[in-house]
Amino acid sequence: MPHDKLFTSMLPDDSDDRTLLENIRPGTWENPQPRGKYDLVILGAGPAGMFAAVKAATLGAKVALIERNLLGGACLNFGCIPSKTIISTSRLYAEMRNAEHFGARVPGEIKVDFPAVMERMRSIRARISRSVSAMELTSMGVDVYFGEASFRGADAVTVDGKSLRFKKALIATGARPMVPSIPGLVAAGYLTYEGVFNLTDWPRRLLVIGGGPQGCELAQALCRLGSQVTIVQDEPMFLRQEERDAAQILSEVLARDGIDIHLNTQTVNVRVEGKLKLVDLVRDDDKQTVTADEILVGTGRVPNVEGMNLEAARVEYYGETGIRINDFLQTTNRRIYAAGDVCFEHRFTHIEDASAGIVVQNALFWGRKRLSALTIPWCTYTDPEIAHVGLYVRDALEKNIPVKTFTVPMHDVDRAITDGEDKGFVKIHVKEGTDKILGATVVARHAGEMINTISLAIGSGIGLRSLARVVQAYPTQAQAIKMAADAYNGTRLTPALKRLLRLWLAW
Ligand SMILES: Cc1cc2nc3c(=O)[nH]c(=O)nc-3n(C[C@H](O)[C@H](O)[C@H](O)COP(=O)(O)OP(=O)(O)OC[C@H]3O[C@@H](n4cnc5c(N)ncnc54)[C@H](O)[C@@H]3O)c2cc1C
């Protein structure tokens, strides 16, 4: 398959990107001949498709995996992996600038070597791509096909002129960047997450449209890597769904990093003057023009439902929310399943992993596993990170569940203080009068790691009382969770019990 046919070209054409492509879209690849009727045909080889393919093939199923672009999907190529790699370098630069607060000195001026940052990213991406390579998948027994997949009826898919018959199919075609219709934007040119990791030099002035996870993560990283960043969000706070105080901390740290923040602001027009992009912003009656060298659009993703002839397969879908599924991940054609960004409300790689297990069990082994049974945490990898699991207070109240919240600020946690990472909190919500954990939000440098403990507790039905009994290594930032649990235990002492204890001790 010639590389110039790829929808998304990888730039620059260096040895790392060539290794990457050899793994995830080999230039000499020949699609296999179909091996009769497949147990499972999968459309799309992002995390959802790949996890399902590997799980099913490992259990002995005959599996075909079809990818029109690059194996690994958004996560490997322009999502989790490249973003987290440059975020780690950007944190290092922020720490170097802040070295004096740690009693350390960085000799000389701190200069960002942006090409080296991106080179490291490409090399890490190429390294990780080995585990999802076409050869690796083939060695596991998966038939890998490159080409655009579309249904030929309710039990067959065509790709590259071949017809693949199936007992069950999985649609895992993911999503693509959503581009808002702002006059002048297309003519002026813009980046999305699909192009931003191709940069070899930083944009001196960068305007980011969108204050969701993608926009905030990339705005902070690129600011710390030297760009002068402006971020525009049309809502009153960043990370719309997160708790207000978490979003407030994020605003403060982005401002402290030097990002020019415009909340409650609409981007209404883009003009080009010479090499510059002039972006008109409106907030209430206030109009302002920001000059940028590049615009990065981070306004979310839209599901890939077009071009698959879903009507022929009797699969219902909607343009905005994607494929209609039930709790067992079946589409309106019960033999066809869907998983991942093409149909889920929450769009994260770890959900694709968990849901792939549901698809394989339900489709191939008469399972009745439900999506709603999963406990799904998520994290925005800004600094500090913002992680959440379970219900928000507003969700609980909507369900008429009374809530009691235990909050521990990170500035009360010894390890957070020693590490100079004391911004944030751990907040755990329980059902009032019980220790049943309903949900939690963690804002901390390593919130993504910390949330997993609470996720484990919710998923296993472990209450806050049991968490208080866990002996944790000292000093760790995760102790904030134990401190919240101890605070819960404190509330179990009723005045009568306290009086009794006092009497006992006096005796
Ligand atoms: C910048 C960014 C950062 C992110 N960071 C994180 C993170 O830190 N943690 C996290 O959990 N998630 C993160 N995500 C989200 C994560 O990348 C996605 O949730 C995940 O990739 C979705 O997997 P998927 O398999 O559903 O879809 P995709 O990854 O979109 O893969 C779908 C695949 O299907 C292919 N396809 C589409 N149509 C067809 C067709 N007709 N025929 C054949 N193939 C087709 C596509 O080419 C694509 O390769 C991030 C996303 C972005 C954009």
If you measure from the C-alpha of residue 363 to the centroid of ligand 1, how many angstroms do you get, rounded to a whole number?
22
Buried b (16+ CB within 10 A) or exposed e, 457-488: bbeeebbbeebbeeeeeeebbbbbbbbbbebb
Q: Is there a contact between 318 and 324 (Cβ–Cβ < 8 Å)? A: yes
The response to whether residue 356 sits with its C-beta less than 6 Å from ligand 1 reads no
Q: Please check the confidence at residue 317 and state whether its pLDDT lies above 60.
A: yes
Q: Please check the confidence at residue 245 and state whether its pLDDT lies above 80.
A: yes
- pLDDT tens digits, residue range 124-168? 999 999 999 999 999 999 999 999 999 999 999 999 999 999 999
If you measure from the C-alpha of residue 346 to the centroid of ligand 1, how many angstroms do you get, rounded to a whole number?
12
Three-state secondary structure readout of 24-88? HCCCCCCCCCCCCCEEEEEECCCHHHHHHHHHHHHCCCCEEEEECCCCCHHHHHHCHHHHHHHHH
- pLDDT tens digits, residue range 377-435? 999 999 999 999 999 999 999 999 999 999 999 999 999 999 999 999 999 999 999 99
Q: Is there a contact between 66 and 43 (Cβ–Cβ < 8 Å)? A: yes
If you measure from the C-alpha of residue 81 to the centroid of ligand 1, how many angstroms do you get, rounded to a whole number?
11
pLDDT grade, residue 4 (50/70/90)? very low
Q: Is there a contact between 146 and 1 (Cβ–Cβ < 8 Å)? A: yes
The answer to pTM > 0.85 is: yes
CA distance 93 to 146: 40
What is the residue-averaged pLDDT of the chain? 95
- pLDDT tens digits, residue range 445-497? 999 999 999 999 999 999 999 999 999 999 999 999 999 999 999 888 788 88
Q: Is there a contact between 157 and 238 (Cβ–Cβ < 8 Å)? A: no
CA distance 20 to 28: 14
* Encoded tokens for 150: 């579309």
The response to whether residue 209 sits with its C-beta less than 6 Å from ligand 1 reads no
Q: Is there a contact between 447 and 408 (Cβ–Cβ < 8 Å)? A: no
CA distance 369 to 318: 24
Angle at 387 between CA 384 and CA 393, to 5 degrees: 125
Nearest CA to ligand 1 atom 38: 173
Residues in the chain: 507
If you measure from the C-alpha of residue 57 to the centroid of ligand 1, how many angstroms do you get, rounded to a whole number?
21
Residue 323 burial (10 A CB sphere; 0-12, 13-18, 19+): buried
